[in-house]
Amino acid sequence: MTRREFYDCIIVGGGPGGLSSGIYALRASMRTLLIEQTAAGGQMVLSDMVENYPGLRSLGGAELAQHFHDHAQDYNLEVHSQEVVEVEPGLTCHRVKLADGTTLKTHALILATGGSPRKLGVPGEDELYGKGVSYCAVCDGFFFRNKTVVVVGGGDSAAEESLYLAKLAQKVYIVHRRAQLRASMILQKRVMAEPKIEMVWNTIVTRIHAEGDEVGGVELQDVQSGEERTLPADGVFVFVGFIPNNKIVPAGVKLNGDGYAVTDDKCETDIRGIFAIGDLREKYARQIVVAAADGCTAALAAAHHVEMQRTIHEGGGAPSALGSG
């Protein structure tokens, strides 16, 4: 497909939010391009099972991502694999600069760049990444069959990934800095019922050490007593939250203290025609279903924005190409 220079709507990011907005944008007859740096699907590809996407009961994350992708392809969503390096907001259109030097223009821009795993920030973490340190159990769990692994964190990710790892590993220690998990109650109950998982409460990892070239264990500190000890392990899986991928969010878009883009209820940022959705947007619940809903909201609002732009710039009341979708 030949790429245009000017679009009604450009979406950056191909996770559940970006793909949903692609579906809604095309149903609203907008000339739409989705730009994705790697493979479509976003974080959901890394989930073993998704059990809380309404209507689908239980599905592998990669399979759900494929459904989103296929659904968008039913509408012939144009997808371009490139890195967006800069967004330059404008009054009548916004400019999207790509790593290959191309600049595209668009009336509406939907930023769906998601988030990345937060690092622990302890000695050994970077040095041993890929040598026993991982941020994805589905990707790397296979290498730890019948071995001992440490999971760091207490949220939904730590709980879900520990349950996945327990199917492969001989022993899974969850090291959490408090005495209560943050994860949803259903996951907490499953974790407590899994005999291969042992909780290490009120404890932080202060260092990941090597044995030869690979992870040999972790240094732990009890946050109450200050006591230190070594826990031998073959792998360390870090799930201590996400940080929003806000590198290309232009100045003028308000970010909260944690770096999430602040929007109104239409997912529109402080800059007219620029929307932020999914894990990039400040919100209460970070769920696939919420990212998908954000995608719908932003695309419908973007369609309205584009229609207004056309009316203004193509001579008041010019017939619009936009359908009601």
CA dihedral 86, 89, 90, 94 (to 10 degrees): 60
- 155 part of the interface to ligand NAP, by CB under 6 A: yes
**Which range in 25-33, 155-163, 295-303, 312-320 contacts ligand NAP by CB under 6 A?**
155-163
- 119 part of the interface to ligand NAP, by CB under 6 A: no
**Which range in 9-17, 92-100, 176-184, 264-272 contacts ligand NAP by CB under 6 A?**
176-184
Name the catalytic one among 70, 126, 139, 264: 139
Nearer to ligand NAP, 156 or 234 (CB): 156
Q: 321 with 307: CB under 8 angstroms?
A: no
Nearer to ligand NAP, 83 or 125 (CB): 125
Nearer to ligand NAP, 96 or 240 (CB): 240
Structure tokens at 106: 């668009």
Structure tokens at 239: 């799930």
Q: 275 with 25: CB under 8 angstroms?
A: no
Residue nearest to ligand NAP as judged by C-beta position: 155
Q: Which amino acid is at 259?
A: G
Structure tokens at 103: 């600049």
Look up 140 and say whether it is catalytic.
yes
Return the residue of 239, 245, 263, 268 that touches ligand NAP, per CB under 6 A.
239
CB of 203 to ligand NAP, least distance (A): 9
- 242 part of the interface to ligand NAP, by CB under 6 A: yes
Nearer to ligand NAP, 117 or 132 (CB): 117
List beta partners, residue 35: 12, 80
Cα 94 to the center of its chain, rounded Å: 24
On the 0-12 / 13-18 / 19+ scale of CB atoms within 10 A, 320 is middle
Q: 93 with 103: CB under 8 angstroms?
A: no
Residues near ligand NAP (CB under 6 A): 52, 120, 152-158, 160, 177-178, 182, 204, 239-242, 286-287
